[in-house]
Chain A
Amino acid sequence: MATTTAAPARTIFRRPASTTGFWSWITTADHKKIGIMYGYTAFIFFILGGLEALILRIQLAQPNGTFLSAAEYNAMFTMHGTTMIFLFVMPVSAAFFNYLLPLMIGARDVAFPRMNAVSFWIFLFGGVFLYTSFIFGTSGAPEGGNLAEEVSRLGAAPNGGWFGYAPNSGTRFSTGTVMDYWAIGLQILGLASLISSVNFIVTVFNMRAKGMTLLRMPVFVWMTTVVAFLLLFSLPIIAVALFMITFDRTLGTLFFDAAAGGDPILWQHFFWLFGHPEVYILILPAMGIVSEILPTFSRKPLFGYPAVVFAGAAIGFMGFGVWAHHMFASGVTPITQAAFGLSTMAIAVPTGIKIFNWIGTIWKGRITLNTPMLFAIGFVAMFVIGGLSGVTHSIVPADWQQTDTYYIVAHFQYVLFGGSIFGLFAGLYYWFPKLTGRMYNEATGKLHFWIWMLGFNLTFAPMHWLGLNGMVRRTWVYDEGLGLDSWNMAVTVGAFIIAIGLLVFMGNWIWSKRRGPIAPMDPWDARTLEWTIPSPTPEYNFGVDPKVSALDDFWHRKYSEDDEGRPVRRPEADQLVAELEDVGLHPPAPIHLPNPSYYPFLVGLAFPILGYGVIYNDKAFGIPLMLLGVLVLVGSAIGWGVEPLEEGHDDHSDHDDDGEEG
């Protein structure tokens, strides 16, 4: 009923037809399925990144640890950082964007459904490509250096840190192929994000439901938009930097070779000009999620909605003007240091505005402390700590002491784990009913939250003292007698507590998905459009295109206000909900959806083939691989070009446009 069947057309492959099972996932162009795939893939990488963290912590549990060799340690911390940032937080945010953005703005899909699938496949193959360096990659001592024995039992993986500082990432100091895997892997992942950012921007600007003006969009949609722009403007810069390092390594360019007049500090400018907006790319989605959850469970509208939106946009904008605060110790001029110290202080202001508005939201509310709310409040509490330690970095001379120590690690873990990850898990619990049609187990969810609060603070709070007491970052061993031993042991214990919490979460997820109580359409008495459709979301999202006449439209349709400004449930509210559910389950008119396609998968597949070709750029192996990659890419582009997005009807509304270029 949802889709009309396709008439056979001239294409390379016969049009995929299955709507369930393995091939339906490979060929899907449905934003929800893509979102779910993003989520599960990211979660697998989260487990890998988490295992890497545990391995690191075993090594550092005691002074002069012997669990890992230096080479293994360096690979582990590089992959931990790279995985958590590029393969977990970014894609799991993309999962939320994909699943929720069309629902929250009242659309049937994103602007370019197949491009959306391409983003996912490129991301998946990019991540897998990066991890294959464990199998195919090689690494060793710098040129002229000596190793006592074959050192890596885990296989070779990128080992230059997640920001791959030059010239350590160049061929002379990073021998073998692992840093090629890193640079090309990130390039591929960046392409995936770039495509999805274009897609989300067009979706937000063009596909909103009738009546949804920009200032009626949920804050999560706003934050998605800001993130999409940040990606759009920062990714080209890291793309150039990654090309430079790849060319330095494979073609013999000299950008970062100091001996030939190259400039290693240039890498840092380019990297952080991307890298700082990236920090906001990681945190803003969580801020958006929290801004949805706090009002729902306080039964109050978001305090100062325009201020929160504006502050989010301001953070995004100012995020491009603070990058050199990562470089206060790198020898940049005092004027640069002063200017970037000031801009860093300035960015604390909109951040503070958000925090105060969140507190204003729950203040005098009627607070339901269930799992998503606990995570959202936990987010605010932990993010405040990360924010305050962030302000101490803007005190430039203090940063000279703090930079490159565990104090910095503590800061960004409070922002990224206590911030982003707490926020994202708040979202996972909050939208679980919409996603699966069932309710999660509340008691287990709360248990997860409290285990994480304990484990998180035990892991990351002591890192503040460790850093101030002189423990430098990325150190494979530390000596005893420096007063670092007991805190390091505490950190390791905390890391394992976090792991236990994650197992609790996984147990809850798996059990609830199968056995949880059936979820109603609107379990939280919520405010936004995704709660006006049945749980789980039907394939076509909305039975009829929604119309919106206010911010938090759904809430206002359910509640009026009395003289004191307190909400009073409208007498017709229950009937409204029932009608919405009915229309959602039985759409009055047939709905056309984008057909599935093989080509996005094939386009994604082309990139790792090209990547291997660039790494092994020899005649026997590399060049044929590159040619094969180009062939797959061009072939699937042609196939894509001649395959219409939808078949079997000739509807011309702008919601159904084909996305071809790019």
Chain B
Amino acid sequence: MADVAHVDDHHDVHESTGIENRKLGMWAFLSSEFLFFGALISNYLLFKGRDFGAGTVYPRELYDIPFTSISSFVLLMSSLTMVLAHHALATGDQNGTRTWLLATGMLGSVFIGGQVFEFTEFVLEGMTISSNPAASAFFMLTGFHGAHVFIGILMLLSLYGISRRQGGLTEAQGLNVELVGLYWHFVDIIWIVIFTIVYLIP
């Protein structure tokens, strides 16, 4: 029973996962990132319902749902363009890959622009990170998400730049497109969760 240590020459399989090292590493890293955002979201949920008295501006009073819905839609569309970039690469269409990479980066930038606008509005309406813990938690959560999108844009644009300079991506660099894609979809999914939990659920 507990005896698994018999010499067993018949069962000689190589059990590596068959997934590329870097891809597996990205999956592991993203699973860690899930907990990172999980902690940030719990932190916001903990504070969002609390009463900090009058005279302070609560995040929930300021949400502009139509505006954020549009920027969320933009980010969602960027996942589509990311898939198209990957698909173009898989079919050997280097020009298409470049176009869609750039489009993804642009859509991401629009989202970031929306976030900058939103933050500015909130500060003008009197809510800063020092207004109350709920406001602190809101800015921290959405700020870290924005930073992730920003890093994603940097990676997309580097791939675009490399492809421009070389006139296409090599097979090894193609894996990078897949990895950035994984990261980008992850950031998108996190945003869907944030948008639902933070903005939509009262």
Contacts and interface: CB of A to CB of B under 8 A. Distances in A.
B21 A661 contact: no
B9, B32, B183 pick with most chain A CB within 10 angstroms: B32
A112 interface: yes
Interface stretch (A39-47, A262-270, A602-610): A262-270
Q: How large is the interface on A (under 10, 10 to 19, 20 to 34, 35 or more residues)?
A: 35 or more
A545 B170 CA distance: 29
A255 B137 contact: yes
B28 A198 contact: yes
Nearest to B141: A240
Nearest to B12: A211
A226 to B, nearest CB: 14
B21 A112 contact: yes
Contacts of A244: 43, 140
A243 B136 CA distance: 12
Contacts of A154: none
Contacts of B52: 260-261
A41 B104 CA distance: 44
A262 B134 CA distance: 9
Given A198-B25, A551-B4, 8 more contacts: A205-B24, A206-B17, A214-B15, A247-B140, A260-B52, A262-B133, A547-B12, A661-B180
Contact of A235 (B7, B21, B32, B158): B32
B5 A255 contact: no
B130 A212 contact: no
A237 interface: yes
Contact of B13 (A198, A211, A304, A552): A211
A236 B4 contact: no
Interface string A198-210: 1101100111101
Nearest to A560: B7
Contact of B179 (A207, A232, A251, A661): A661
Interface string A64-107: 00000000000000000000000000000000000000000000
A547 to B, nearest CB: 7
Interface stretch (A25-33, A282-290, A587-595, A652-660): A652-660
Contact of A233 (B21, B22, B31): B31
B154 to A, nearest CB: 9
A109 to B, nearest CB: 11
Interface in B108-155: 129-130, 132-133, 136-137, 139-140, 144, 155
A202 B2 contact: no
Nearest to B2: A304
Contacts of B190: none
Q: Interface residues of B: mostly helix, strand, loop or mixed?
A: helix
26 contacts: A111-B21, A197-B32, A198-B25, A202-B24, A202-B28, A206-B17, A206-B19, A206-B21, A211-B12, A211-B14, A233-B35, A252-B129, A253-B133, A255-B43, A266-B46, A305-B2, A307-B2, A549-B12, A550-B8, A556-B7, A658-B22, A659-B21, A659-B22, A660-B22, A661-B22, A662-B26
Interface residues of B, number: 54
A502 interface: no
B178 to A, nearest CB: 10
Nearest to A262: B133
A213 interface: yes
Interface string B80-95: 0000000000000000
A214 B15 CA distance: 8
Contact of B46 (A263, A306, A552, A660): A263
Contacts of A111: 21, 24-25
Contacts of B2: 303-307
Contacts of B47: 261, 263
A239 interface: yes
B136 A255 contact: yes
Given A111-B25, A240-B39, A254 B130 contact: yes
Contacts of A210: 12, 14
B25 A659 contact: yes
A205 B27 CA distance: 12
A547 B14 CA distance: 9
Contacts of A657: 20-22
